[in-house]
Amino acid sequence: MLDELEATTTHAGELEEMIEEITADDRDGRRRDGMLGAISLGGRAKTLKEGMAHCRADEYPKQHVRA
């Protein structure tokens, strides 16, 4: 997951150009806006935050289980 986030960050400009090309003929900008939102800094930060929360949730029970 971290590799995917890094790749998105590294190639954000290229991805934005591809999205613009792919959605150029759309009637409205909703699909383009959604795609751009997914690769935005905020979108990547949210993904990382949620992933870290899941990792912590998975670790918590293992560390605090009494034998």
- CB neighbours (10 Å) of residue 40? 14
Residue ranges in the chain modelled with pLDDT below 50: none
Asked if residues 23 and 29 have their Cβ atoms less than 8 Å apart, the reply is yes
Would you state the structure tokens that stand for residue 7, as one six-digit string?
Answer: 């790749």
Report the pLDDT value the prediction gives residue 27, as an integer from 0 to 100. 94
Domain count, the chain: 1
CA pair distance 54, 64, nearest whole angstrom:
16
Amino acid identity at 14 = E
Host domain of residue 30: 2-63
